[in-house]
Chain A
Amino acid sequence: MQRFILIAVPYAWLLALFLVPFVIVFKISLSDIALAIPPYTPTLKDGFAAFVAGLDFENFAFLASDDLYWKAYLSSLQIAILSTFMTLCVGYPIAYAMARAPEEWRPTLMMLVILPFWTSFLIRVYAWIGILSSEGFLNQFLLWTGIINDPLTILNTNAAVYIGIVYTYLPFMILPIYAALDRLDGSLIEAAEDLGCSRLQAFWLVTIPLSRNGIIAGCFLVFIPALGEFVIPSLLGGSETLMIGKVLWEEFFNNRDWPVASAVAVILLLILIVPIVLFQRNQQRQAEEET
């Protein structure tokens, strides 16, 4: 009995905070827009038979017919994939340097990676506006050094979105890779060199494969939230930046079209299920390898 209660707690948690909200969102996505509170029909007030009869897949058909949504999904995927790759390129050397640093420095370095989380995410993204705008610190600095004569337009372009995503999600990339590299036995690298590898070969043949699980975990931890990202594209991006998170926000708050917004969210979730399942498989395999 006690065991049953123990298992019931997490299941109740998942049911209340994941499954029930999803069912509600899914139901709204099958509804029609209405000028009412809540802004859709049918509701259970209409009676069960009318409620079921009122549901349809109209909104999904609409999403398929309007190429804005397709483009938004594709562009989100592209931005998420590219920025994940860029985060990896920036994060891996940092994680590597941390793992190679003297033992007594490591807690400090770790602290420095986590420190930005102490400030609000929103404020940190706002701060980038001050850095990237045409009168911002970056342009002022570059003008002062004489590298450029006219200020660069970075803010309100996709470049600013990439910078924002890489900056924001960098710790999620660094930490799992650092954990993998930290566990790496240094004598493996020496063994590889002893057997005829150059430093670079040893890195490529031993370090990279053995930190693979960290790389995969880091990439998913960046890719999944980046795909649905809304704050960064709306603050740093411009009119050309088309991301599904932004579209969803506009449907919801500007158009007050909850059913279409919900349909967008459901599709986004379906797209995300693929990488999430892959990610969990990777974690599972890693756990199996360690036992």
Chain B
Amino acid sequence: MNQSVFAPWDDPTQKPLIRFKNVTKRFGDFTAIDDLSLDIFEQEFFALLGPSGCGKTTMMRMLAGFETPTSGVIELAEQDIAPIPPNKRAVNMMFQSYALFPHLSVYENIAFGLRRDNMPKADLDARVAEMLKLTRLEKFAGRKPHQISGGQRQRVALARSLAKAPKLLLLDEPLGALDAKLRQATQFELMDIQEKTGTTFVIVTHDQEEAMTVASRVAVMDEGRIMQVETPERIYEAPNSLYVADFIGEVNIIPCTLRQTGEDRFALDWLEGQAPFTAISNRSFSDGQAGHLALRPEKVSISAERPADAQNTVQGKILDIAYLGNLSTYHVEIPGGRIIKAQTANTRRISRRSYTWEDTVWLSWTPTAGVLLEQ
């Protein structure tokens, strides 16, 4: 394993670069941000993830200075930023629409912020050239924004917002306008550039895959509150709520009643007359408490015969098969009418698929595969 894992959030001696302290933002009757506290550390690639209207863009706009919190304090490097206007903040933003100046060339767009600081001509030329090189736009310096492609515009917007070497770069759905292939390539490019420049990035996105790919930590938001802040792996493997489990990736939710059977073992009664499932969780639940088992489809195996050594098995009938190329998702109806999704990697050619519609199959998973959640 890498010895120096980047995890300043686990180190209590680290001072956060950005600190939201009980921030609330209201627009009339509508509460966009509800008493929110959050720390973001230097050199982090932090993702704000949530459905539209969850308040993630409002948080970004408060950081940029276009909105002021109704109550609470936002600190940048331990300084309250509320009285600082947007043009005086060491924060730059890359807009969702890119907001490139259509009347200026690529070069002038990138130089725009530097000219406001009255940078000497030689330094300015060098800095713009550096930005053009970083974003591989040297050949397009003289073009106007409408003369280049969408991917190139995205890079101009990035170069322009990085040119002033901000302490913090905000990216509002930076890849939303790109097609799927280009988006993937650009995600890695973004990570590269973030690493090279050492700038703290805060990205707003509704695309969970994007957030998982690029971010060091992800904050899942809903209705103005942060549901969970964790690394992508932990968000996926150990969601703290049904909302997070459901929002990130695909998941089977099985409602059940919990009984403690061991130190960290629980028996889950999910349907009368059926053998209970077993799950391991280090959270505490009281006996008879209602809960949910959240189970990722790829952690459910599918077999024709009942697996002899599995602890959780259930028989069902295949209703649907979604063929995704690399993966297949089977929709299996288990007793009680519940549909469980099971995913398998298509390591064989499809003509030799083992199961088909209406087949009776066995589903199985280990006690650690699922996550036990309260509500």
Which A residues lie at the B interface, using CB under 8 A? 185, 187-188, 190-198, 201, 205-206, 209-210, 212, 289
Q: Say yes or no: A210 contacts B117, CB within 8 Å.
A: no
Instruction: Give 15 pairs: A residue, B residue, CB < 8 Å, sorted on A.
Output: A185-B97, A187-B99, A188-B101, A190-B64, A190-B86, A191-B101, A194-B64, A194-B92, A195-B87, A195-B113, A195-B116, A195-B161, A196-B87, A196-B116, A210-B102
Of A191, A206, A289, most buried by chain B (CB within 10 Å of CB) is A191
Output the nearest chain B residue to A212 by Cβ-Cβ distance: B103
CA distance A100 to B220 in the complex (A): 34
Asked whether A193 lies within 8 Å of B97 as measured between CB atoms, the reply is: no
B91 contact set on A, CB distance < 8 A: 194
Distance in angstroms from B276 CB to nearest chain A CB is 55
- Asked whether B66 is an interface residue with its Cβ less than 8 Å from the other chain, the reply is yes
As a 0/1 sequence over residues 69 to 95 of chain B, the CB contacts with chain A under 8 angstroms (1 = contact) are 000000000000000011110011101
Evaluate whether A187 and B86 lie within 8 angstroms (CB atoms) in the complex, with A194-B64, A196-B117 already known.
Answer: no
Instruction: Decide: A187 and B97 in contact? CB cutoff 8 A.
Output: yes
CB neighbours (8 Å) of A197 from chain B are 87, 116
B103 contacts across to A, CB distance below 8 A: 209-210, 212
Q: Which B residues between 145 and 200 are near A, CB-CB below 8 angstroms? A: 146, 160-161, 164
- Contact at B86–A206, with CB atoms within 8 Å? no
In whole angstroms, how far apart are the Cα atoms of A190 and B101 in the complex?
Answer: 11
Nearest residue (CB) in A for B85 is: A193
User: Are B92 and A195 neighbours in the complex by a CB distance under 8 Å?
Assistant: yes
Q: Which of B93, B96, B117 contacts A194 (CB 8 A)?
A: B93
Measured between alpha carbons, how far is A196 from B117 in the docked complex, in Å? 7
Shortest CB distance B192–A (Å): 23
B112 contacts A by Cβ under 8 Å: yes
Q: Looking at the assembled complex, report how far the CB atom of A288 sits from the nearest CB atom of chain B, in whole angstroms.
A: 11
Contact mask B97-125 → A, CB, 8 Å, 1/0? Answer: 10101110000000011001100000000
Q: With a CB–CB cut-off of 8 A, which chain A residues contact B117? A: 196
A191 touching B99, Cβ below 8 Å: yes
Check A191–B116 contact: CB distance below 8 A. Answer: no
Q: How far is the CA of A187 from the CA of B172 in the complex (A)?
A: 12
Cβ-closest 7 pairs across A and B: A196-B116, A195-B113, A191-B99, A187-B99, A193-B86, A209-B103, A187-B95
Number of interface residues of B (CB under 8 A): 25
State A201–B86 Cα separation when bound (angstroms). 13
B66 touching A198, Cβ below 8 Å = no
Known: A190-B66, A209-B103, A210-B102. A196 touches B95 (CB 8 A): no
Known contacts A190-B66, A190-B99, A195-B112; 15 further A-B pairs (Cβ under 8 A): A185-B99, A187-B96, A187-B99, A191-B95, A194-B86, A194-B87, A195-B87, A195-B113, A195-B116, A196-B88, A196-B113, A196-B117, A197-B87, A201-B116, A206-B101
Secondary structure call for the A interface: helix
Q: Nearest chain-B residue to A187 (Cβ)?
A: B99
B87 touches A191 (CB 8 A): no
Minimal beta-carbon separation of A198 from chain B (angstroms): 6
- Quick one: which of B93, B96, B99 contacts A188, CB cutoff 8 A? B99
Cβ-defined contact, A289 with B95, below 8 A = no
Residues in B neighbouring A196, C-beta threshold 8 A = 87-88, 113, 116-117, 164
In whole angstroms, how far apart are the Cα atoms of A188 and B101 in the complex?
7
A203 to chain B, nearest CB (A): 13
Asked whether A195 lies within 8 Å of B66 as measured between CB atoms, the reply is: no
Across the interface, name the chain A residue whose C-beta is closest to B111.
A195
Residues on B with C-beta less than 8 A from A212 are 103
Whether A191 and B93, one on each chain, are in contact in the complex, defined by CB atoms closer than 8 angstroms, is yes
A205 vs chain B, min Cβ distance (A) = 8
* A193-B88 Cα distance, complex, nearest whole Å: 9
Residue numbers in A under 8 Å from B96 (CB-CB): 187
| Complex Cα gap A209–B112 (Å) | 14
> Which of chain B's residues have a CB closer than 8 A to the CB of A210?
101-103
How far apart are B108's CB and chain A's nearest CB, in angstroms?
10
Contacts of A205 in B (CB 8 A): 112
Q: CA separation between A246 and B117, bound complex, in Å?
A: 55
Alpha-carbon separation in the docked complex, A196 to B93 (Å): 11
What B residues does A188 contact at CB under 8 A? 99, 101
Knowing A195-B160, A196-B116, A209-B103, the reply to whether A190 touches B95 (Cβ < 8 A) is yes
Closest to A198 in B: B87
CA distance A197 to B64 in the complex (A): 13
> Least Cβ distance of B186 to chain A in Å?
20
CB distance from B181 to the nearest CB of A (A): 26
Residue of A nearest to B93 (CB): A194
Find the B residue at minimum CB distance from A194: B93
B107 vs chain A, min Cβ distance (A): 14
Asked if B102 and A193 make an inter-chain contact with CB atoms under 8 angstroms apart, the answer reads no
A187 to B92, CA, bound (A): 13
Q: Tell me the smallest distance from the CB of B150 to a CB of chain A, in Å.
A: 16
Chain A neighbourhood of B113, CB < 8 A = 195-196
- Taken together as a complex, chains A and B put the C-alpha atoms of A209 and B102 apart, in Å, by 10
Q: In the complex, what distance in Å separates the CA atom of A131 from the CA atom of B137?
A: 62
Instruction: For A206, list chain B residues within 8 Å (CB).
Output: 101
Residues of A contacting B160 with CB < 8 Å? Answer: 195
Task: Return the chain B residue nearest A196 by Cβ.
Answer: B116
